[in-house]
Structures are given as structure tokens and as C-alpha cells.
Amino acid sequence: MKRILVYFSTIAFAASLANCTQQKDQKTTTVVTTPDSPNVLVQAILLNDLASAQWNSMMAADSVKFTDINRLLQEISYCKKYDEKEYERLMKLKNQVYAMRYTEETLSDSSIDLYDAATSDLINKVRNLKVATPEILQHPLADQLENDIMKSENEEVILYRTHYDQAAAKYNSFLEANKEAIEKESPGVFRKKKTFSVAL
């Protein structure tokens, strides 16, 4: 019965993360075009959408990582003997760290560093709790979850950020090259995107 309840809890948590990500990241760009400017504006919209798609993919992958962290903690709770106080503390910490996530608007060097440091600290504490729970050896899923978390943390984060930066840089360059035409036809609609390589 406990496994069933925790299973549904995990599904609800994952659905909540996905819903939050979609609500925060989905945007609609509205422009007014004239016969002289459709090509430039259409290209700007396409490049903006491509960059937004990369952002959404990156944040969705980050949500999956937190779902795995949540699931690993729950796997630890299946054991007969584990540090219940530390488990409860880390479950709360997980939610606190997730709430620190940056958005396209709040992206800055300080927000990136703060979130990365907090996420790394959370993962280390969860791994330490796993090591301190001998019975976890009887739960092979725990190792797979840990491997997925570490792959996301050490490899996928950089990959997704690089892909987003490339798409955002292409969009920003296009805006700069066509700023007069774009501003004339759709003033104030298109704005340059912040990037991880240059987060101001």
C-alpha cells in the first residue's frame, strides 16, 4: 500500500513540474505586419520560436532531474531503516531549490550560480543519504536513478545550455542586423534574449 501511494505521489509531482514549466515558458509573439516587412518579421518570429523551444527543452530536462531526485528519496524511504529526519529535510530542500529556478527574464550570472550551487548541494546530500542507507543495495532502481541524475548534472546541463545559447545568439544577431526594419514595423515587440554565456 505504501508503494502504491508513493507511486501516485511521484506521478503527481512530475505532472506538477511539467505544468509549471509549460505555464512559465510558453509565450506568444504578436506583431503587426505590412506588405513591405513580412519576410523580416516572419524570420524574427521563427528564430524566436526556435530559441524558446530550446529553452523549454532545457527546463523540461531539468524538471525530469528533480523528478528523479524525488523518486530516489522515495526509494530510500522504502527501506526499513533510514534517517527519517534527513529524508524529510531533503524533501523540503528539494522543493526550495526547485523554486529557485531562473526564467528567461531573471537569467543572470548570480541566479545561475546560486541555482547551480544549490542543486549540486542537494544532489550531494541525497547521495550521502543513499550511502548511509545499507538496505538501499536491495533496491537496484536507486542506482539507476542516481546515474540518471549525475548524467543530467554533469553532461546534459551544459549541452542544453549550449543549444539554447546558440539559438538565442542567432536570434539576437538577426535582431541587431534588422533592428531598423523590425522596430519600424513592430516597435517594442522583439527583444534580445539573455544567454548563459553572457547573462547580464
CB neighbours (10 Å) of residue 8? 10
By mean pLDDT, which of 19-23, 40-44, 62-66 is the weakest?
19-23
Q: Which amino acid is at 133?
A: T
pLDDT of residue 183: 87
Output DSSP code: residue 152: I
- 187 against 43, higher pLDDT: 43
Q: Convert the pLDDT of each residue in 116-169 to its tens digit.
A: 999 999 999 999 999 999 999 999 999 999 999 999 999 999 999 999 999 999
Q: What is the pLDDT of residues 57-97, one digit of tens each?
A: 999 999 999 999 999 999 999 999 999 999 999 999 999 99
Alpha carbon 2 to its chain's center: 30
Confidence of residue 18 (pLDDT cuts 50, 70, 90): very low
Q: Which residue in this structure is represented by grid cell 528539494? A: 94
What is the chain's alpha carbon radius of gyration, rounded to the nearest angstrom? Answer: 21
Average pLDDT of the chain is 86
What residue spans define the domains of the chain?
Answer: 41-99+107-200
**Angle at 107 (CA atoms; ends 106, 113), nearest 5 degrees:** 120
pTM for this entry: 0.78
